[in-house]
Chain A
Amino acid sequence: MHLAISMEEAVDMIPDGARVMLSGFMGVGTPDGLVRALAASGKKDLTVLVNDAARPHTGVGPLVTAGCVRKFIGSHIGVNPVVQEKMRSGELEVELVPQGTFVERIRAGGMGLGGILTPTGIGTLIAEGKDVIEIDGKQFLLEKPLRADFALIAARSCDYVGNLTYMLSATNFNPIMALSADVVIAEPEEIVPVGVIPPDAVKTPGILVDHVIKRTV
């Protein structure tokens, strides 16, 4: 059963120290309302799993800028000087993961797999401390699954049972992350009656969605 909750209720649900997945690519496809509300709430010590640090005021940026984040796991932090500064000062821990490995580890976490074998990272710093496994004469890195306590999903449309669609490049990590967290909260741009989204067009089945952010108008 899907419960429409307010932004405040969603924020209250997420404790200090929680592990939170956030979709988006340079802030596109990120649930901006949830990010802003969390940033304003003064949460502490969050671990965020998000592709990139975007900019100080886009994507996950506001959360980091507000000092809510203890650890960042993702692939790129190059255009967010606040993240660079907090990393240098030791306030923020950063774990860099190649983007293809990042999304595939999240997929593994949501699909019940014990990890993935990828050629990416072999012979680089990324391989340090990891098992290298040879399959048919080729070397692969064993990368373990990634999961989170919460996944915050930005959807285009959501129907009354929580079926979700996404739009163009705002799709990115959303359908994968919606599989890989204990609690999935969707922030859609619009709510539509059941039937408006044809079954073939559903990208995330509603059974995966625990909560939907309530419309305020």
Chain B
Amino acid sequence: MKDLVVMDPKEIIARRVSLEIRPKTLVNLGIGIPTLVSDHLTENLGVFFQSENGVVGLGHRPAEGMTDRHLTDAGGTFTSAVPGASIIDSAFSFGLIRGGHLDLTVLGGLQVDAQGHLANWMIPGKFVPGMGGAMDLVTGAKKVIVAMLHSAGGVSKVVPECTLPVTSQRRVDLIVTELAVMAPLDDGLYLLETGPGVSVDEVVAATDADLIIKGDVPQMDLSRTA
């Protein structure tokens, strides 16, 4: 469990996302902020974390000197496995992802728009990292949460319509930034919660997309755990 007294923006996002994780589910965490989410979970949820390279039951990073080059996560970082873990090949791994067996994926984003489209695999003319497993994850997971900083270089990443190539036509379920929790629905993007100490006006000012605001919007309650 992380100390709540001093939390940087990424840890705020990770803690809030961790509250969305349900017991005994299969979860895939993307690289970057999503990877931080598992640090905020209590140990006894019975959740299995999957990585695209074929681990079902990722554990924490092993102690110094106990790493093994045959056991890494989707970022290529040394990892460990929990009791009950299993290993599958890449075809099976994406069968889990596309086949409706994955309960939740948490992914980073370059942009998300008011329709809930995610763009996270290329910036034309600038940087083309590739989609890796992201297109399959967004298309196939039962629930998709985007975990990202609200803006980059002072520019809102929550936009009316993605200007970057989208990752999937599927609408994501939830967007969590350090400033807000938002949900794209049929009639637009709803502001569900604001970040700790953040006002609704501040979120609106920092967001290029129109936000639908109904009633009093609560602040994230980060004292809870999943």
Taking Cβ atoms with an 8 Å cutoff, the residues of A that contact B are 25-29, 51-52, 54, 74-79, 84, 87, 94, 96, 98-101, 103-104, 107, 118-126, 156, 167-176, 203
Given A29, A98, A103, which contacts B131 in the complex, CB threshold below 8 Å?
A98
**B168 adjacent to A124 (CB under 8 Å):** yes
**A124-B136 CB under 8 A given contacts A169-B54, A172-B89, A174-B89:** no
A99 with B136: CB separation less than 8 A? yes
Known contacts A98-B133, A170-B70: A103-B91 contact under CB 8 Å: yes
* 18 A-B contact pairs sorted by A residue (CB < 8 Å): A28-B69, A28-B70, A51-B90, A54-B76, A75-B131, A76-B129, A76-B130, A78-B132, A79-B129, A98-B134, A99-B135, A120-B135, A121-B135, A123-B166, A124-B168, A156-B70, A170-B69, A172-B53
Contact call B132/A124, Cβ cutoff below 8 A: no
Query: A96 contacts which of B51, B69, B72, B130 (Cβ < 8 Å)?
Result: B130
Instruction: Tell me the smallest distance from the CB of A189 to a CB of chain B, in Å.
Output: 9
Bound: A179/B72 CA distance, A: 24
User: In the complex, which residues of chain B have a beta carbon less than 8 angstroms from the beta carbon of A87?
Assistant: 128
Given contacts A98-B136, A124-B135, A168 and B87 within 8 Å (CB-CB): yes
- State the Cβ distance, A41 to closest chain B Cβ, in Å: 25
Task: Find chain A residues with CB under 8 A from B129 CB.
Answer: 76-79
Task: Give every chain B residue within 8 A of A167 (Cβ-Cβ).
Answer: 70
Given A25-B76, A100-B98, A75 and B87 contact (CB-CB distance below 8 Å): no
Shortest Cβ distance from B85 into chain A, in angstroms?
Answer: 9
- A99 and B53 CA atoms in complex are apart in Å by 10
What residues on B are CB-neighbors of A75 within 8 Å? 130-133
Q: Is the CB of A101 within 8 A of B136?
A: yes
| Structural contact, A26 and B76, CB atoms closer than 8 A | yes
Question: Given A104-B91, A124-B165, do A28 and B132 touch, yes or no (CB 8 Å)?
Answer: no
Give A25's nearest chain B residue, CB to CB.
B53
A52 CB to nearest B CB, Å: 7
Q: What residues on A are CB-neighbors of B98 within 8 Å?
A: 100, 118-120
Q: Roughly how many angstroms separate A107 CA and B91 CA in the complex, as a whole number?
A: 8
Minimum CB–CB distance from B184 to chain A (whole Å) comes to 15
CA distance A79 to B136 in the complex (A): 20
Residues of B within 8 A of A173 (CB): 89-90
Having A96-B128, A119-B140, one finds 5 other A-B pairs with CB under 8 Å, namely A25-B72, A96-B131, A120-B135, A120-B168, A167-B70
**Contact indicator A168/B55 (Cβ below 8 Å):** yes
0 or 1 for each of B144-170: is its CB under 8 Å from A? (1 = yes):
000000000000000000000111110
Question: Which residue of A is nearest B55, CB measured?
Answer: A169
Contact B128 A124 (CB under 8 A): no
Q: Are A99 and B90 in contact (CB under 8 A)?
A: yes
Residues of A within 8 A of B134 (CB): 98
Interface centre among A25, A120, A173, A175 (most CB of B within 10 A): A120
Q: Is the CB of A171 within 8 A of B133?
A: no
B89, A100: Cβ atoms under 8 Å? no
Chain B, Cβ-Cβ closest to A154 = B70
- B131 with A169: CB separation less than 8 A: no
Q: How far is the CA of A104 from the CA of B75 in the complex (A)?
A: 21
A74's nearest neighbour on chain B, judged by CB, is B130
- B131 to chain A: closest CB distance in Å? 5
Task: Please indicate the chain A residues that have their CB under 8 angstroms from the CB of B165 in the complex.
Answer: 124-125
Given the known inter-chain contacts A168-B87, A171-B54, please indicate yes or no for A104 contacting B131, CB distance below 8 A.
Answer: no
Min distance, Cβ A16 to any Cβ of chain B, angstroms? 26
Given known A-B contacts A100-B98, A168-B70, A26 and B75 have beta carbons under 8 A apart = yes
A169 touches which of B53, B135, B139, B168 (Cβ 8 Å): B53
